[in-house]
Amino acid sequence: MKVITRIPPSPTGNLHIGTARTALFNYLFAKKNGGKIILRSEDTDRERSKKEFEENIIESLNWLGIGYDEFQRQSERGEIYKKYIEKLLKDGSVYEAEEGVIRFKNPNTRIKFTDVVRGDIEFDTSDLENFVIAKNVSEPLYHLAVVVDDHESGITHIIRGEDHISNTPRQILIQEAIGATRPIYAHAPLILAPDRSKLSKRHGATAVIDYQAKGYLPEAMINYLALLGWNPGTDQEIFTMEELIKQFDLNKIQKGGAIFDEKKLAWVNKEHIKRLSPEVQKGMQIKTLKEEHYIKNRPDLDVEKMSWKNFSKEDTKKCLEEVNKLIPDTDAIMKYAERVGKGNVLWPLRYALSGEEKSPDPFTLIAVLGKDESISRVKKAIEIL
Nearer to ligand GLU among residue 8 and residue 189 (C-beta): 8
Interaction pattern, residues 7-46, with ligand GLU; x per rule: CB under 6 A:
-xxx-------------------------------x----
Length of the chain: 385
Minimum separation from the CB atom of position 168 to ligand GLU (A): 9
- Under rule CB under 6 A, residue 175 binds ligand GLU: no
Minimum separation from the CB atom of position 19 to ligand GLU (A): 6
- Under rule CB under 6 A, residue 164 binds ligand GLU: yes
Minimum separation from the CB atom of position 61 to ligand GLU (A): 14
Total residues contacting ligand GLU by CB under 6 A comes to: 7
Interface segment toward ligand GLU; rule CB under 6 A; list 5-13, 103-111, 247-255, 377-385: 5-13
Nearer to ligand GLU among residue 188 and residue 220 (C-beta): 188
Among 36, 157, 160, 170, binds ligand GLU (CB under 6 A): 160
Interface segment toward ligand GLU; rule CB under 6 A; list 4-12, 45-53, 347-355, 367-375: 4-12
CB-based contacts of 326: which residues, under 8 Å, 6+ apart?
Answer: 332, 333, 336
Site for ligand GLU in 42-71 (CB under 6 A): 42
Residue 187, CB-side half-sphere exposure with 13 Å CA sphere: 18
- Under rule CB under 6 A, residue 188 binds ligand GLU: no
Nearer to ligand GLU among residue 23 and residue 226 (C-beta): 23
Nearer to ligand GLU among residue 77 and residue 264 (C-beta): 77
Nearer to ligand GLU among residue 42 and residue 54 (C-beta): 42
Site for ligand GLU in 243-302 (CB under 6 A): none
Minimum separation from the CB atom of position 10 to ligand GLU (A): 4
- Under rule CB under 6 A, residue 146 binds ligand GLU: yes
CA 327 – CA 373 distance, rounded (Å): 10
Nearer to ligand GLU among residue 151 and residue 164 (C-beta): 164
Give contact residues for ligand GLU (rule: CB under 6 A).
Answer: 8-10, 42, 146, 160, 164
